[in-house]
Amino acid sequence: MITSNEETLNRLKTGDESVFDTVYKQYYRGLCAFASQYVAETETEEIVQEVMMWLWENRSALIPEMSLKSLLFTMVKNKCLNNITHNQIKQRVHEALYARFEEQFEDPDFYMESELIALAAKAIHALPEEYRKAFEMNRFGHLTYNEIAERTGVSPKTIAYRISQSLKILRTELKDYMPLLMALLN
């Protein structure tokens, strides 16, 4: 049982896990209730857990004369305010992006292009690993077969085979979308 604030902080400084467990149990619910005044209930537990983790990780820097309760509640309040500010900034960025690209977002072709790109990326990701690496190095890294061969330690003919097999697989996987993909790439 904890008898005083100073003793609690001193025992925390020495790494006494039982004292930390007691502090955690004693303050957790109150800190969550306090945090819920600032942020959504779904975020309160994460914030309180971050504060408690900080307390444990920085226990050696605790000053026995400070009030543990004040420290914890101040930290939770500051994290909540930071969270609010972060969410407001994120919302402003989303609004600015939407305003900037509103016409594209409302254009049905934008969604078709996004879906086609996602389908192509999924098909490329599903290629056997060696094929995918060679294909990506060639198509996206703009490396020649010889350069890829040097980097991977196989012959240029092996690289040529892997890339041709990749193209064959992709043509099969994306055959229903080829006319649209060709139009998109032109």
Q: Are 12 and 68 part of one and the same domain?
A: yes
Q: Residue 186: pLDDT band by 50, 70, 90 thresholds? A: very low
Q: Are 120 and 145 part of one and the same domain?
A: yes
Handedness of CA 117, 122, 125, 128 (dihedral sign): negative
Question: Model pTM?
Answer: 0.50
Q: Are 86 and 148 part of one and the same domain?
A: no
CATH code, domain carrying 70: 1.10.1740.10
Q: Are 35 and 84 part of one and the same domain?
A: yes
Q: How many domains does the chain divide into? A: 2
Q: Are 94 and 115 part of one and the same domain?
A: no
Confidence at residue 101, expressed as pLDDT on a 0 to 100 scale: 63
pLDDT tens per residue, range 73-115 = 999 999 999 988 888 887 877 777 767 666 555 555 555 667 7
Q: What is the residue range of 83's domain?
A: 5-101
The region of weakest confidence among 1-5, 45-49, 120-124 is: 1-5
Contact 37, 73 (CB under 8 A): no
Q: Are 75 and 115 part of one and the same domain?
A: no
Specify burial of residue 177 (Cβ count, 10 A radius: 0-12, 13-18, 19+).
middle
CATH code, domain carrying 167: 1.10.10.10
Percent of the chain at pLDDT > 90 equals: 51
pLDDT tens per residue, range 152-181 = 899 999 999 999 999 899 888 888 777 666
Distances (CA, A) of 165 to 132, 142, 147, 154: 10, 18, 19, 16
The last residue of one of the domains, among 79, 101, 123, is 101
**Could you give the residue ranges of the DSSP H alpha helices within the chain?**
5-13, 17-35, 41-57, 68-106, 108-125, 129-139, 145-152, 156-173, 178-185
The last residue of one of the domains, among 101, 134, 155, is 101
Q: Are 76 and 148 part of one and the same domain?
A: no
Q: Residue 52: pLDDT band by 50, 70, 90 thresholds? A: very high
pLDDT tens per residue, range 132-157 = 899 889 988 888 999 999 988 999 99
The mean predicted confidence, pLDDT, of the chain is: 85
